[in-house]
């Protein structure tokens, strides 16, 4: 429409030709064919990043897990379910990417056993114990070079951390420790909670570099926040 046309004129084409892989949504780890352990990521921030990057001229590949919103047009779409499937997709597509932005919420744990048929309450009784095991850390595997043997030289990796810590200082400290541990070039830290961060149109973020220094901050609708993140990558 007219607004889009006007924006297209003023919008920089500063990511023209860049190959960007973005992950969005939340992975799910099945317990059986019916039940799964999921997380509340809606995919909105990842999709806003994909749309913003596309509008700035990038070739975008979007790896999506269980979006609650429609995926954008004009990007290559790869659908995955579990953390293991997302890991495989990142390994494949990051091998040819200038920039990788890991905005999806990836399950830290998966059930040790996945039942072929629906678990029945009549057979299980009133209590059930589920044993979980940690999933590989996709972001850490990517930055350490163990995920994809042929990462392009100069590839920039952006990680995301959703934290519930309410105290500002401890929130930032958790982000700094994660920035050091994950090895991403940038780590976008945002606060989430029972009423905060998920399935909303707006977001508040702090961007840290690998040393934990704040290199950017943004608050507002997720598209504006997406452009502020991309501003740090051009």
Name the residues annotated as catalytic. Answer: 39
Stretch that binds its own copies, among 45-53, 57-65, 119-127, 144-152 (CB under 8 A): 119-127
Is position 130 an interface residue for its own copies (rule: CB under 8 A)?
yes
Torsion 63-159-152-53 (CA) sign:
positive
Q: Which of 65, 32, 34 is nearest to 47 (CA)?
A: 65
Residue 137 contacts residue 166 (beta carbons within 8 Å): no
Dist CA 84 CA 133 (whole Å)? 13
Shorter beta-carbon distance to its own copies: residue 84 or 232: 84
* Cβ proximity of 111 and 37 under 8 Å: yes
Task: Please select the residue that binds its own copies; options are 163, 176, 220, 224, rule is CB under 8 A.
Answer: 163
Cα distances from 117 to residues 132, 222, 228, in angstroms, run: 19, 40, 46
If one asks whether residue 70 binds its own copies (CB under 8 A), the answer comes out as no
2 binds its own copies (CB under 8 A): no
Among 132, 156, 172, 232, binds its own copies (CB under 8 A): 132
* DSSP 8-state class, residue 71: P
Query: Segment 95-114, which members bind its own copies (CB under 8 A)?
Result: 105, 107-109
Residue 117 beta carbon to its own copies: minimum distance, rounded to whole angstroms: 4
CB of 138 to its own copies, least distance (A): 13
Measured CA distances, 29 to 18, 37, 70, 103, 138 (Å): 32, 5, 22, 18, 15
Least Å distance, CB 125 to its own copies, is 8
Question: Residue 206's beta-bridge partner residues?
Answer: 189, 217
Q: Of 1-9, 28-36, 83-91, 150-158, which segment contacts its own copies by CB under 8 A? A: 28-36
Q: Which of 36, 58, 63, 157 binds its own copies (CB under 8 A)?
A: 36
Residues 176-195 that bind its own copies (CB under 8 A): 192-194
Tokens of 177: 């420790």
Asked whether the CA dihedral 121, 107, 229, 169 is positive or negative, the reply is positive
Cβ nearer to its own copies, comparing 39 with 155: 39
Least Å distance, CB 35 to its own copies, is 5
127 binds its own copies (CB under 8 A): yes
Q: Which residues contact 211 (CB under 8 A, 6 or more apart)?
A: 179, 180
Residue ranges that bind its own copies, judged by CB under 8 A: 28, 31-40, 68, 105, 107-109, 116-119, 121, 125-134, 162-165, 192-194
């Amino acid at each position: 429409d007219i607004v889009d046309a006007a924006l297209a004129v003023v919008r920089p084409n500063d990511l023209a030709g860049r190959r960007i892989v973005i992950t969005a949504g939340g992975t799910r780890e099945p317990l059986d064919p019916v039940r799964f352990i999921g997380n509340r990521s809606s995919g909105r921030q990842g999709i806003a990043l994909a749309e913003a990057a596309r509008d700035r001229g990038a070739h975008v590949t979007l790896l999506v897990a269980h979006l609650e919103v429609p995926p954008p047009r004009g990007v290559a779409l790869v659908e995955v379910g579990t953390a293991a499937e997302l890991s495989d997709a990142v390994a494949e597509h990051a091998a040819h990417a200038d920039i990788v932005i890991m905005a999806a919420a990836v399950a830290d744990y998966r059930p040790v056993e996945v039942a072929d048929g629906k678990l029945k309450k009549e057979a299980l009784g009133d209590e059930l114990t589920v044993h979980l095991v940690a999933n590989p850390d996709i972001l850490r595997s990517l930055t350490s070079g163990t995920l994809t043997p042929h990462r392009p030289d100069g590839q920039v990796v952006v990680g995301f951390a959703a934290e519930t810590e309410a105290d500002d200082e401890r929130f930032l400290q958790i982000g700094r420790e994660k920035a050091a541990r994950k090895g991403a070039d940038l780590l976008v830290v945002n606060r989430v909670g029972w009423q905060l961060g998920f399935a909303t149109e707006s977001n508040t973020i702090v961007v840290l570099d690998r040393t934990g220094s704040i290199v950017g901050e943004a608050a507002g609708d997720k598209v504006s926040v997406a452009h502020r993140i991309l501003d740090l990558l051009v």
